[in-house]
Homo-oligomer: A and B are copies of this chain.
Amino acid sequence: MLKQVTDSKNLNAIKVKSFSSIQSEIQSSNPIALSVDCVIFGFDENKLKVLLIRSDLKKYQDKWTLLGDLIRPEEDLDDAAYRILKQRTGLNDVYLEQVETFGKIKRHPAGRVITVAYYSLINVQHHKLNILDNELHWHDVENISEMAFDHQEIFNNCYARLQKRVQEHPLGFNLLPKKFSLRDLQNLYEAILGFKMDRRNFRKKFFSMDFLIDLEEIEQNVPHRPGKLYQFNYSKYEKKKKKWAGIDF
């Protein structure tokens, strides 16, 4: 509890590192610098969003970048990603997945920087507060304006990975509130995958998997017949996990 508070204080004290400080860090000693970049996904108003910040490089001014930072010498890779997430969203327990490492020689104007890309899924209801940063904004994934560096490519690959992965593993739930309707779930999948699905078959699919707990509650404050609320049964899933077998391409 106390730790929580301390963390929050630290969080407010964090300032975005300026370009020049990064540049000096990079050029001081190491020929190759290492960073992590996070594609932070959220789901709000039935749209898939990504958290971006305004670039602090003149060359890339008015362009958006992913949230990232140099990896500290005594820091695990994943921890660096978690640190960024904590800094930017205030959230500790988030779904995080490493996707790919980008290392083109000229990808960063400040010198040789190789970056490990992650994506993470957060429940937008849980943070709200810490977005009031300088230039931090949620962007519709369908509608992203120009990005700095190779961040568009990084984003594309992370998004593609999410699209693939969400069809094979139950991670979408990380983007939803704990209690959700089946309609919420379908909206989520449609937003992530970018196409509409048949409502009846979607329901059938999820009910037949039998990983949803019927909470015996219904939606509140909807201007129509309210739907039932569900929760994902992770422990049941862990036991029944499907092993993949089938050739198809």
Which of A50-58, A72-80, A124-132, A216-224 sits within the interface?
A72-80
Which of A30-38, A61-69, A88-96, A133-141 sits within the interface?
A30-38
Q: Does A112 reach chain B (CB closer than 8 Å)?
A: yes
A76:B103 contact, CB within 8 angstroms: yes
A205 — which chain B residues lie within 8 A by C-beta? 247
Q: How many copies does the complex hold?
A: 2
Main secondary structure of the interface of A (DSSP, over half): loop
A114 — which chain B residues lie within 8 A by C-beta? 34, 71, 77
A101:B101 contact, CB within 8 angstroms: yes
Nearest chain-B residue to A247 (Cβ)? B167
B73:A112 contact, CB within 8 angstroms: yes
When the two chains form the complex, which single residue of B34, B170, B245, B249 contacts A249, counting CB atoms closer than 8 Å? B170
The verdict on A242 contacting B249 (CB below 8 Å), with A75-B105, A76-B103 known, is yes
